[in-house]
């Protein structure tokens, strides 16, 4: 837990006390151990305070607020242990899906991947004159509509051990919370429905509930739906927590997936807010792509459409037909004007205002959307765009915000050409930049890159791992054909390299011996040995000495 975590308003105990007091930590660990063995969560732990955070809209409407539950410290420590145990079980048995559902997944920037991929889909559909239909779905109070009986059914679906199911059932049985504001506090209210926002276990339970539907649409009969990339299966569904987007190439396919989602919502007692849903379409009209208004139904209600020329928002990013980012520019301009006016109105010395202006310029950087678009184009043959070359999303954005961003991006046509393109370009224009970047690169990242290149070479061992060869054995000595084996481990290969070396040397010697007035030395049969002069190939010409050495010949 972070030190900045808010304490529960009921007891005002902070995690700092437990982090800095070994005695309290020991006592808490023993207490959690006893709770785990008994399988029953104490009633004192099942009381919390809930604060309301305004999302948007009218403040008189309670549905425009997000309830955040502040639990006691013992429960905050216990639920992450429970969550980690469940997640390890699901991951080790491959029970949960991460290709479609990107929300609440450790070490995964799901918003970046979904928004970048959706932008690339719209650009490809417009440029290549392909049809695409995108439907955004919205659920009413998604976290609060999860029935506790559904949680138990979902745990059974994922084969969770009985003891863990018993602990989770005990946690949600007679859980009480009090709504706390700056003016009043309500009596304790029993939580009879929904998962607790603010609890570490709730996101995983919610993902497991949605995973029942995601596993259904991953069936073979639905895999043909969607918008297909080159060398990839069609992409037909984006999910980030409760934010869903259906992407298909035809209206009929989109409608079919919407029907399946509607049936699942009826089974899980989820409520679809049709008025908050929207659909966006692109199709080919004669010789160009145009935006149009798809006609889709959900629960026998016509879904709202994105008007021609307007944009829709998904995971905080705006998308329109031309992908112009005009909405982001407008928001950024409005924000800058508001901040500038706010600074001007402050009774500050002009020197201090200039200092604030400079900090404002550093804080408001350019939108990284263009960089993300180009990054996705270069790596759209891989499932996770930042895993191969970067440790985090921050490294991706910093790299592609550099002054040579456009030059590098123009060279990236696919993921496999990354290193060759950078090397080719750096030889002429970016040699200084490349050498500086390489010198500053951490040793572990540099070694990983070298290993990545080596593991990308088509040796028999790699071809067997990729499923392109039936055997990983060397065709000459029947040993495992790794890169080290090819270079220095196989005696047959070494003999071939020697033969090629001697063949080239013999060709050069036969060509040069026709020159009059010269003495020729060559390390091949039929010529004078040059060992007393220099190894390799030596040609001594009158008045000057010519040395021709063949150090390596791997052709």
pLDDT digits (tens, 9 = 90+) for 58-78: 888 887 888 888 888 888 888
Q: Which helix (H) or strand (E) holds 337?
A: helix 326-345
pLDDT at 326: 86
Q: What is the pLDDT of residue 307?
A: 93
Question: How many angstroms separate the CA atoms of 175 and 192, rounded?
Answer: 8
pLDDT over 50 (residue 103): yes
Domain limits, the chain: 15-323, 337-410, 425-548
Measured CA to CA, the distance from residue 194 to residue 186 in angstroms comes to 19
Report which of residues 529 and 35 the model is more confident about: 35
pLDDT for 364 beyond 50: yes
How confident is the model over 399-410, as a mean pLDDT?
53
pLDDT band at 365 (very low <50, low <70, confident <90, very high): low
Most confident of 155-164, 218-227, 336-345, 450-459: 155-164
Name the band, by pLDDT with cuts 50, 70 and 90, for residue 297: very high
Residue pLDDT, tens place only, 253-294: 999 999 999 999 999 999 999 988 999 999 988 888 999 999
Rounded to the nearest 10°, the torsion over CA 101, 103, 105, 111 is 100
Res. 51: pLDDT tops 70: yes
Amino acid 281: pLDDT: 94
Question: How far apart are alpha carbons 463 and 417 in whole angstroms?
Answer: 19
Q: What pLDDT shows up at residue 369? A: 47
The pairing of strands 176-179 and 47-54 is: parallel
Tokens of 206: 């919610």
Can you list the positions of beta strands (E) in 121-258? 132-137, 176-179, 189-190, 237-240, 243-248
How much is the pLDDT for 517?
Answer: 62
6-20, 50-64, 249-263, 426-440: the lowest-pLDDT one: 426-440
Indicate whether 332 pLDDT > 80.
yes
User: How far is 16 from 486, CA to CA, in rounded Å?
Assistant: 57
User: For residue 18, which of 97, 64, 75 has the smallest C-alpha distance?
Assistant: 75
d(CA 239, CA 211): 10
Question: Which residues are CB-neighbours of 301 under 8 A, at least 6 positions away?
Answer: 274
Radius of gyration, CA atoms only, the chain: 32
Joined tokens for residue 423: 């090397």
Q: CA 332, CA 364: separation in Å to the nearest integer?
A: 8
The chain-wide mean pLDDT, for the chain, equals 78
d(CA 463, CA 482): 10
Within a 10 A sphere around the Cβ of 47, how many other Cβ atoms?
19
Determine which of 125-129, 331-335, 449-453, 548-552 has the lowest per-residue pLDDT on average. 548-552
**Among 112-121, 409-418, 425-434, 440-449, whose mean pLDDT is lowest?**
409-418
């Amino acid at each position: 837990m972070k030190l900045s975590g808010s304490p529960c308003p009921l007891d005002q105990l902070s995690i700092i006390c437990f982090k800095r007091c070994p005695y309290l930590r020991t006592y808490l660990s023993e207490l959690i151990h006893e709770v785990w063995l008994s399988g029953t969560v104490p009633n004192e732990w099942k009381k919390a305070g809930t604060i309301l955070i305004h999302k948007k809209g009218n403040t008189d409407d309670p549905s425009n607020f997000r309830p955040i539950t502040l639990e006691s410290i013992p429960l905050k420590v216990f639920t992450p242990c429970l969550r980690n145990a469940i997640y390890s079980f699901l991951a080790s048995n491959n029970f949960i899906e991460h290709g479609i559902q990107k929300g609440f997944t450790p070490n995964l920037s799901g918003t970046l991947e979904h928004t970048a991929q959706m932008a690339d889909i719209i650009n490809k559909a417009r440029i290549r004159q392909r049809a695409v239909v995108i439907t955004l779905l919205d659920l009413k109070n998604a976290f609060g509509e999860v029935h506790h009986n559904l949680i138990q059914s979902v745990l059974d679906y994922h084969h969770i051990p009985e003891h863990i199911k018993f602990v989770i059932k005990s946690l949600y049985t007679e859980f009480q919370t009090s709504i706390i504001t700056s003016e009043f506090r309500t009596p304790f209210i029993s939580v009879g429905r929904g998962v607790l926002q603010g609890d570490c276990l709730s996101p995983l339970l919610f993902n497991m509930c949605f995973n029942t539907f995601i596993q259904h649409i991953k069936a073979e009969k639905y895999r043909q739906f969607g918008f297909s990339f080159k060398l990839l299966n069609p992409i037909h569904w984006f999910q980030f927590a409760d934010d869903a987007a259906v992407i298909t190439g035809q209206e009929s396919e989109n409608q079919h997936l919407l029907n399946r989602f509607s049936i699942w919502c009826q089974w899980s007692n989820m409520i679809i807010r049709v008025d908050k849903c929207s659909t966006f379409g692109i199709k080919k009209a004669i010789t160009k792509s145009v935006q149009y208004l798809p006609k889709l139904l959900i629960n026998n209600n016509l879904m709202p459409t994105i008007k021609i020329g307007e944009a829709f928002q998904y995971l905080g990013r705006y998308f329109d037909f031309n992908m112009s980012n005009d909405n982001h520019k407008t928001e950024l301009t409005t924000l800058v004007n508001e901040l500038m006016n706010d600074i001007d109105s402050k009774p500050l010395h002009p020197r201090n205002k200039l200092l604030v202006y400079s900090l404002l310029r550093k804080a408001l950087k350019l939108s990284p959307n263009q960089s993300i678009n180009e990054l996705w184009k270069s790596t759209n043959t891989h499932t996770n765009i930042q895993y191969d070359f970067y440790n985090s999303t921050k490294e991706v954005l910093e790299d592609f915000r550099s002054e040579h961003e456009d030059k590098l991006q123009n060279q990236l046509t696919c993921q496999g050409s990354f290193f060759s393109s950078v090397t080719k370009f750096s030889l002429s224009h970016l040699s200084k930049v490349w050498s500086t970047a390489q010198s500053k690169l951490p040793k572990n990242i540099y070694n990983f890159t070298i290993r990545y290149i080596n593991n990308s070479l088509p040796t028999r061992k790699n071809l067997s791992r990729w499923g392109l060869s039936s055997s990983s054995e060397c065709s000459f000595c029947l040993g495992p054909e790794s890169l080290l084996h090819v270079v220095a481990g196989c005696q047959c290969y070494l003999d071939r390299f020697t033969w090629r070396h001697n063949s080239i040397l013999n060709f050069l010697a036969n060509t040069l011996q026709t020159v009059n007035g010269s003495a020729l030395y060559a390390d091949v049969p039929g010529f004078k040995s040059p060992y007393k002069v220099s190894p390799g190939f030596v040609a001594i010409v009158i008045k000057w000495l010519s040395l021709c050495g063949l150090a390596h010949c791997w052709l």
